[in-house]
């Protein structure tokens, strides 16, 4: 996997216009998708990416395109995203946007977890999704290469996979051909606000006039918003993943099992992770938002490891400036691409568990391990829509580890909202007001 870092060549260097209809802050899957759909309908859109398109979590994720296990409010959006993914390669002419149908398989050795799967399957039936339950005997018969003391599982055959580190840049090329302006190494420092409304942005290369902005900056979104006077509850966690060298295929599905999850890769290897350790580096915002994150922490606490402080330059790290002006260098220019070290704990878990869980590839060598910082909201579902405090500021962030698969539909919806169209989905659960109007914050599946 050729990791995208700040040392990667700049491939998107369009000159910035003086004015645009929409400026997108962030070149990840959500921002690029929105730019594509905006450009397709004739909007003048500019994407400003502080580092490299897909340089952070959008290229570092598992590559699953799954409907299975989604939050009830997310599921209709993900079903749409599945449909979009299936047509993107043909629609854009970009082979790297290929959707590979493979199905998503969850297997468990815990009866309580199996009951949750059954409840989710019942909900999925309301959407005519093709999810079915699997018995212990069916798992043992159909998946002899996956070992465990199983009680059952579920599978959604219509789910699939993609290759993140090539797919998102390919989507950016398609957006560029549709008319979007994309500029890497171009941080937006702050918003330009006049009369209580968005009037533009100030980048490190100058001002762009516009009356609509989409903030889609992943782990950095809360810090950009805070500097603009907008409270946006979100924290970042480190997730570690590895890939094996090419090995014979023994299972084609995306597979989640206790302690080890995999997906088949186009290069003949498997992406693999323990999937159970979320690492959070404590920062001032950790304490500010503790109350809002309490339910999520309680439900996932055994899988969360806290570190005293993030390395210098990480989002919100101690010592980072909490505010800056349009004339000052921003934290986004100091950390072009967030490239965290992988967790040695997770890498060891993979090595230790691989032979017993997936004996068919017990001798597979790990070719590479990497990590990304995931933007997580207090209820583990996105923020999507126009901010209730600042007209013209739209937000698509907090995708909470679900972003790659759901990204195209998030972008389509954001484009509709930015264009004043009906998005076609109930977005009540994703509104910015929910963090402040007394709405109980009930965590979705994470």
pLDDT, tens only, 123-173: 999 999 999 999 999 999 999 999 999 999 999 999 999 999 999 999 999
| Cβ-proximal residues to 77 (8 Å cutoff; 6+ apart), any chain | 406, 409, 410, 413, 425
**Residue written as token pair 């952070």:** 56
Would you state the structure tokens that stand for residue 263, as one six-digit string?
A: 């997906």
Cβ pair 347, 366 in contact under 8 A? yes
List Cβ neighbours of 66 (8 Å cut-off, separation of 6 or more). Answer: 78, 104, 156, 159, 254, 405
- Distances in whole angstroms, Cα of residue 223 to Cα of each of 44, 185, 284, 339: 26, 18, 11, 18
Q: Which of 279, 293, 282 is nearest to 380 (CA)?
A: 293
Among 127-131, 261-265, 317-321, 402-406, the range scoring the smallest mean pLDDT is 317-321
| Phi, psi for residue 165 in degrees, rounded to 5 | -70, -15
Summarize the confidence of residues 11-34 as an average pLDDT.
98
315 SS3 class: coil
pLDDT digits (tens, 9 = 90+) for 194-227: 999 999 999 999 999 999 999 999 999 999 999 9
pLDDT number for residue 301? 63
Rounded Cα–Cα distance for residues 183 and 202 (Å): 14
pLDDT tens digits, 27-71: 999 999 999 999 999 999 999 999 999 999 999 999 999 999 999
Q: What pLDDT, on a 0 to 100 scale, did the predictor assign at position 125? A: 97
Cα-Cα-Cα-Cα dihedral of 98, 99, 102, 105, to 10°? Answer: 130
Looking at residue 303, its pLDDT comes to: 81
Tell me what the mean pLDDT of segment 351-367 comes to: 95
**Band (1; pLDDT cuts 50, 70, 90):** low
Structure confidence at residue 259 (pLDDT): 93
Of 127-131, 296-300, 380-384, 405-409, give the lowest mean pLDDT range. Answer: 296-300
Sign, CA torsion 416/417/423/425: positive
Band (99; pLDDT cuts 50, 70, 90):
very high
What the block records as the tokens of 204 is 């490190």
- Res 218: pLDDT: 97
Give residue 298's pLDDT band: very low, low, confident or very high (50, 70, 90).
confident
C-alpha distances in angstroms, 387 versus 118, 226, 293, 325, 378? 36, 13, 20, 21, 17
First and final C-alpha spacing in the chain:
26
Largest CA distance in the chain: 66
Tell me, what's the pLDDT at 302?
A: 67
Whole-number Cα distances in Å, 34 to 363, 381, 396, 427: 42, 18, 9, 16
Is residue 169 within 8 Å of residue 34, measured between CB atoms?
A: no
- Rounded CA separation 312/314 (Å): 6
The mean of the pLDDT values for the chain is 96
For residues 166-188, give the mean pLDDT.
98
Secondary structure letter of residue 22 according to DSSP: E
Q: What is the pLDDT of residue 135?
A: 98
- Cα gap 262→271, rounded to integer Å: 5
Specify the pTM. Answer: 0.97
Q: Which domains does the chain have, with CATH numbers?
A: 22-103+158-435 (3.50.50.60)
- Does the pLDDT at position 392 exceed 80? yes
């Amino acid at each position: 996997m050729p990791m995208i870092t700040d040392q990667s060549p700049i491939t998107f260097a369009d000159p910035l216009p003086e004015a645009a209809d929409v400026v997108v802050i962030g070149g990840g899957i959500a921002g690029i998708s929105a730019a594509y759909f905006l450009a397709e309908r004739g909007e003048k859109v500019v994407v400003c990416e502080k580092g490299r398109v897909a340089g952070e979590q959008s290229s570092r994720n598992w590559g699953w395109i799954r409907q299975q296990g989604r939050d009830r409010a997310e599921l209709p959006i993900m079903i749409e995203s599945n449909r979009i993914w299936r047509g993107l390669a043909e629609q854009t002419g970009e082979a790297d946007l290929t959707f590979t149908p493979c199905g998503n398989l969850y297997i468990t050795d815990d009866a309580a977890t199996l009951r949750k799967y059954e409840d989710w399957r019942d909900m999925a039936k309301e959407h005519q999704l093709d999810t079915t339950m699997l018995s212990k005997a069916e798992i043992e018969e159909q998946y002899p290469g996956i070992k465990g003391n199983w009680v059952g599982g579920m599978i959604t055959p219509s789910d699939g996979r993609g290759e993140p580190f090539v797919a998102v840049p390919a989507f950016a090329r398609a957006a560029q051909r549709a008319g979007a302006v994309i500029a890497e190494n171009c941080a937006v420092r702050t918003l330009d606000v006049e009369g209580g409304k968005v009037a533009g942005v100030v980048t490190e290369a100058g001002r762009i006039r516009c009356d609509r902005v989409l903030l889609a900056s992943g782990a950095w979104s809360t810090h950009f918003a805070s500097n603009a006077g907008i409270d946006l509850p979100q924290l970042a966690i480190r997730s570690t993943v590895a890939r094996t060298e090419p090995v014979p295929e023994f299972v084609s599905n995306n597979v989640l099992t206790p302690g080890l999850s995999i997906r088949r890769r186009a290069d003949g290897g498997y992406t693999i992770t323990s999937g159970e350790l979320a690492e959070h580096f404590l920062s001032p915002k950790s304490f500010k938002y503790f109350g809002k994150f309490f339910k999520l922490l309680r439900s996932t606490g055994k899988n969360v490891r806290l570190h005293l402080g993030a390395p210098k330059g990480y989002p919100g790290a101690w010592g980072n400036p909490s505010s800056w002006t349009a004339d000052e260098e921003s934290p986004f220019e100091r950390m072009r691409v967030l490239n965290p070290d992988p967790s040695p704990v997770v890498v060891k878990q993979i090595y230790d568990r691989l032979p017993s869980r997936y004996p068919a590839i017990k001798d597979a060598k790990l070719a590479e391990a990497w990590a990304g910082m995931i933007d997580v909201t207090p209820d583990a579902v996105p923020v999507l829509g126009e901010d209730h405090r600042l007209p013209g500021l739209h937000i698509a962030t907090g995708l909470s580890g679900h972003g790659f698969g759901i990204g195209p539909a998030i972008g389509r919806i954001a484009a509709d909202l930015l264009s004043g169209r009906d998005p076609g989905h109930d977005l009540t659960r994703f509104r910015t007001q929910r963090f402040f109007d007394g709405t109980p914050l009930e965590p979705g599946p994470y």
